[in-house]
Chain A
C-alpha cells in the first residue's frame, strides 16, 4: 500500500509513531544496550522501561490535557495541581493517616477541586482558558507550598510509595497507572457519546450550543478530568522520591504536556483528538530527554537539541513539508 492511499486518520497517526522510532533508534546508536531488557527478580529492567516509567507523569497530564485541548482550551495549572496533590497526600501521611484510601483519596479530591475551579471559570464565567488556568498555576504552587510550609516533606509509607516505585506484572506501577487511566478515559470517550460532544464543542462551540449540547458542563468535565490526571501524576512524583517537593514538583510540566498533545497531532484550536497519540507524544518527549542524558553532550546544549528535535518532528507531520520533499525529489530525479 502506498502512502497516498492511506486514510487521513492513519496518516495522522503514522508520523508521531515514526518520530518515536527514529528517536529510539538514535538512542541505540548512542548506547548499544538501549533496547536490551533484562529480567531482574521478576522485573523488567532496561532503558526502554525507564523511558516509559519516566514518561508516566507527563503521559497522565497529556491524557487530561488532550481532552481540554479538544474543547479548544488549555490547562496551564496541571504542574501546580501535581504539587498540590503531592502535598496533600504527604500532609495526610505525615499527619498520621495510615489508611491508603484516604491518602490517595485526599490527593484525588484536591485534583478534582482544582479542575472544578478551572472548569467553572472557563465554562460558566467565560474566562479565556489560558488566563483562567494561569490563576491556579500561580496560586496553586503557593497553596502547595503553604501546605508544606515551603519545605520538602519526606515520608515513609510503603503502600503509598508503591504508586511511584512499585512493580506489577514486572512493570513499574506508574506504567500500569497510565494504562489504566488510558483505558478508562478511552472507554468514557469512545464507548459513550462524551468524546463526540467534546469534539463538537471544540470544533464549533456556537454550533454545539445550537445542537443543544451543554457546552459549559462539557468544559467543566474535561477540566475536572485534567485535574484528576494531574493529581495522579502528582502522587506518582511524590511517591517516587518519597517526599513532596512543592517547589519543584511538576514545574514547567504543563508545557511538556501541551507539547505531547500537539506532537500527537491535535490542534490547539480544538476538535479531533486522540488520547493514544498524545501518550506517544509524551513518550517522544521522554525518549528525547533520555537521549540527551545518554549522549553525554554538555548540558548547556540540552535546550538547543530539544528545540531542533521538536521542529523536526513537527515538520515530519506537516503535509506541506511532504509535498516539498516530493517536489524536491522529482526535481532531483529530472536532473540526473
Chain B
C-alpha cells in the first residue's frame, strides 16, 4: 500500500500527473491511497498523518510548498515509513527525513528559457513577463533563473511584469491590457510566461490585437503540455521547457528498491526537462498524438 498526497487539480498538467501515478500503480499492482489536498498544505499534512495512522508501506508527496514539512516527516520517520518527495522540492535541513526528492529545478527552467530567448534575439529584447501565482515556488524560481540570465545582457530587459495566476483566462486578460499599455505591443520583442496555460491565453490576446504571436512577439514558456504542441505547430509559440508529469514511474521505482532493502539514494533526482522549439518538436508531437 502506498499513500499519495497530491496538491490538487488546479491545472491540466496536475491532473495528467495524478492520472499517470494512478495508472502506474495499477500497472504494478500497487494499492494506491490517493488524497487530494485542494491546494492546501494543512490538508496535505492531515493526509500524511492519516496515511501514517493507516499504516501504509510508503508515502509519496507532491508538496504544495517547500517549507513546513519537518514535523510530519519526523512523524513518518518515527513510524518507519519511507517518504518520497515528487514534483516540487521541500526545504528541510535534515535529508534523512525522506528517501529522495524527484523534482525539477525551477531556477534552471527559468535559465533554459532565458538562454533560448537570448540566443534567438542576440540579447536584444524588450520582454513582457507573465508571472505565476504570487508567492508560488515555481514562479519565484523561474523568475530568478530567467532574470539571472538576462541580467548578463545589456540589451535585454523586462518592461512589464504581472501575475496571471497560471491560468489561460487570466493570461489573455492581462496580456490584452499590457498590449494596450505598450502602445499596441509593436515595440515588444518577446513574451515570457511561467507556464504554458498563460502563454496559450496570451497568444489569443496578441492575435486579437492584430499581431502575429511567434513572429511579431516571440513566446517562450514552461511545461510543454499537449496543447502547446499544437501552438508550436501553428507557429504561435516558439519554445517551451519540458516538465514531465510522468513522475509515478520513478517514484515507485525508488519505493520498490527501498522496500527491497536499498538505502543509499541520491537525495535529489533532478528532472531534467528538454526544451522544445520549432526545430525539435515534431517527434514528441507525433509521439503524444499516438498515445
A and B touch in the complex (CB under 8 A): yes
Which A residues contact B (CB, under 8 angstroms)?
31, 33, 40, 46-47, 50, 54, 145, 149-152, 154, 165, 237, 240-243, 245, 247-249, 251, 290, 293-294, 296, 298-300, 302
Q: Which residues of A contact B227 (CB under 8 A)?
A: 152, 154
In angstroms, Cα B178 to Cα A31, docked, is: 11
Q: How far is the CA of A247 from the CA of B197 in the complex (A)?
A: 12
Give complex CA distance A302, B178 in Å. 15
Residue of B nearest to A145 (CB): B9
Name which residue of chain B comes closest to A51, CB basis: B177
Q: Which residues of A contact B208 (CB under 8 A)?
A: 165
In the complex formed, the residue of B with least CB distance to A249 is B169
> Which residues of the other chain, B, contact A290 by a CB distance below 8 angstroms?
177
**Is B15 an interface position by the 8 A CB rule?**
yes
Distance in Å from the Cβ of A248 to the closest Cβ of chain B? Answer: 4
Which of A237, A242, A300 is B204 in contact with, Cβ under 8 Å? Answer: A242
Q: Which B residues are CB-close (under 8 A) to A247? A: 9-12, 15
A239 to chain B, nearest CB (A): 11
1/0 contact string of B167-188 vs chain A (CB within 8 Å)? 1111011101110110100000
B9 adjacent to A299 (CB under 8 Å): no
B210: chain A residues at CB < 8 Å are: 40
**Which residues in B have their C-beta under 8 angstroms from that of A150?**
9, 12, 14-15, 18-19
Q: A40-B210, A145-B9, A299-B131 are in contact. Are A240 and B172 (CB under 8 A)?
A: yes
Chain B 98-112 near chain A by CB (<8 Å), digits 1 or 0: 000000000000000
A50 and B177 form a contact (CB under 8 A): yes
Residues A299 and B163 in contact, CB atoms below 8 Å apart: yes
CA distance in complex: A214, B89 (Å): 58
For B200, the chain A residues whose CB sits under 8 A away are 241
Q: Which of B14, B18, B167, B177 contacts A293 (CB 8 A)?
A: B177
Do residues A302 and B163 form an inter-chain contact, with CB atoms below 8 A? yes
Q: In the assembled complex, which residues on chain B have CB atoms less than 8 Å from the CB atom of A298?
A: 161
A241 in contact with B177 given A150-B12, A151-B15, A248-B10 (CB within 8 Å)? no
Q: Is B3 an interface residue (CB 8 A)?
A: no
Instruction: Report the bound CA distance from A243 to B196 in whole Å.
Output: 14
4 nearest A-B pairs in the assembled complex, by CB-CB distance: A150-B15, A299-B163, A248-B167, A293-B177
Q: Which listed residue (A31, A40, A241) contacts B169, Cβ 8 A?
A: A241
A241 in contact with B162 (CB, 8 Å): no
Taking a contact as CB atoms under 8 Å apart, the answer to whether A243 and B168 are in contact is yes
Q: Which residues of A contact B162 (CB under 8 A)?
A: 293, 299
Whether the pair B9, A245 counts as a contact (CB closer than 8 A) is no
How many Å from the CB of A32 to the closest CB on chain B? Answer: 11
Task: Name the distance in Å between A307's Cβ and chain B's nearest Cβ.
Answer: 15
* Cβ–Cβ < 8 Å partners of A243 in chain B: 168
- In this complex, how many residues of chain B approach chain A with their Cβ under 8 Å: the count is 37
Contact A245 B180 (CB under 8 A): no
- The answer to whether B169 and A293 touch across the interface, beta carbons within 8 angstroms, is no
In the complex, A50 Cα to B172 Cα: how many Å? 12
Query: Which residues of B sit under 8 angstroms from A33, Cβ to Cβ?
Result: 180, 183
A47–B209 alpha-carbon span in the complex (Å): 12
The answer on a CB contact under 8 Å between B12 and A46 is no
Of all chain A residues, which has the CB nearest B166? A248
Question: Is B16 among interface residues, defined by CB-CB distance under 8 A?
Answer: yes
Which of the residues B168, B173, B174, B183 comes within 8 Å of A152, measured between beta carbons?
Answer: B168
Pairs across A and B, CB under 8 Å, 20 listed: A33-B183, A54-B173, A145-B15, A150-B14, A152-B168, A152-B197, A154-B227, A165-B204, A241-B201, A247-B9, A248-B169, A251-B167, A293-B162, A293-B177, A293-B178, A293-B181, A296-B160, A299-B131, A299-B161, A300-B134
- The reply to whether A151 and B174 form a contact with Cβ atoms under 8 Å apart is no
Complex formed: what's the CA distance from A54 to B176 in Å?
10
Q: Which chain A residue has the least Cβ–Cβ distance from B18?
A: A150
User: Contacts A152-B227, A294-B177: A299 and B169 contacting too (C-beta < 8 A)?
Assistant: no
**B176 neighbours in A (Cβ, 8 Å):** 50, 54
Q: B168 — which chain A residues lie within 8 A by C-beta?
A: 152, 241, 243, 245, 248
* Cα-based distance from A241 to B172 in the complex (angstroms): 8
Supply 6 further A-B pairs (C-beta < 8 A) apart from A154-B227, A248-B168: A47-B177, A241-B169, A251-B167, A293-B162, A299-B161, A299-B163
B16 touches A151 (CB 8 A): yes
A238 vs B4: C-alpha distance when bound (angstroms): 32
Inter-chain contacts of A240 with B (CB < 8 A): 169, 172
Q: Report chain A residues within 8 Å CB of B169.
A: 237, 240-241, 245, 248-249
- Taken residue by residue from 250 to 284, chain B's Cβ proximity to chain A (1 for < 8 Å, 0 otherwise) reads as 00000000000000000000000000000000000
A47-B131 contact, Cβ under 8 Å, with A150-B9, A237-B169, A248-B10 = no
* Most chain A Cβ neighbours within 10 Å, of B16, B18, B172: B172
- The distance in angstroms between the C-alpha atoms of A299 and B163, with both chains bound, is 6
Give chain A nearest CB distance to B144 CB in angstroms.
15
Complex contacts, B160 vs chain A, CB 8 Å: 296
Which B residues lie within 8 Å of A145 (CB)?
Answer: 9, 15
In the assembled complex, which residues on chain B have CB atoms less than 8 Å from the CB atom of A151?
A: 12, 15-16
Residue of B nearest to A242 (CB): B204
CB distance from A326 to the nearest CB of B (A): 38
Report how far A294 CA is from B210 CA in the complex, Å: 20
Q: Which residues of B contact A47 (CB under 8 A)?
A: 177, 180
